[in-house]
Amino acid sequence: GAVVSQHPSWVICKSGTSVKIECRSLDFQATTMFWYRQFPKQSLMLMATSNEGSKATYEQGVEKDKFLINHASLTLSTLTVTSAHPEDSSFYICSARDRRSRGGGVNEQFFGPGTRLTVL
């Protein structure tokens, strides 16, 4: 159980286009999902926290108009990279928290397999 999927697994796009990445919790409901970005040989950087039915909370330095996050249901969050440029090329990873979590631990967060974005 506790599977998180991402779609697509990789995408190549032209500079100036927008790209949407989906994150789904397959066998549990997630009130909270998190979006990370990871550059080669670096750690994961938290971009934003996505809460079902409300606006996402962005980390400092992350442009909310550039990275649009929508968490419309308890099993789906989307990240849209708008007007993508080569510097947005990265590995984007989401994680989801089981709504049954009662806190007191972070193992209720399950990570997706990641999406490789390449902007030409």
Total residues interacting with other proteins, rule: CB under 8 A? 24
Among 44, 62, 68, 76, binds other proteins (CB under 8 A): 44
62 binds other proteins per the rule CB under 8 A = no
The DSSP secondary structure of the chain, one letter per residue, reads ---EEEE-SEEEE-TT--EEEEEEESSS-EEEEEEEEE-TTS--EEEEEEETTS--EEPTT--TTTEEEEEEETTEEEEEE-S--GGG-EEEEEEEEETT--SS-STTEEE---EEEEE-
Is the peptide bond between 8 and the residue preceding it cis, with omega within 30 degrees of 0? yes
Q: Which is nearer to other proteins, 16 or 64 (CB)?
A: 64
- Residues 81-120 vs other proteins: string with x where CB under 8 A? ----------x-x-x-------xxxxx-xxxxxx-x----
76 binds other proteins per the rule CB under 8 A = no
25 binds other proteins per the rule CB under 8 A = no
Residues in the site for other proteins, rule: CB under 8 A?
Answer: 4, 6, 34, 36, 43-46, 49, 91, 93, 95, 103-107, 109-114, 116
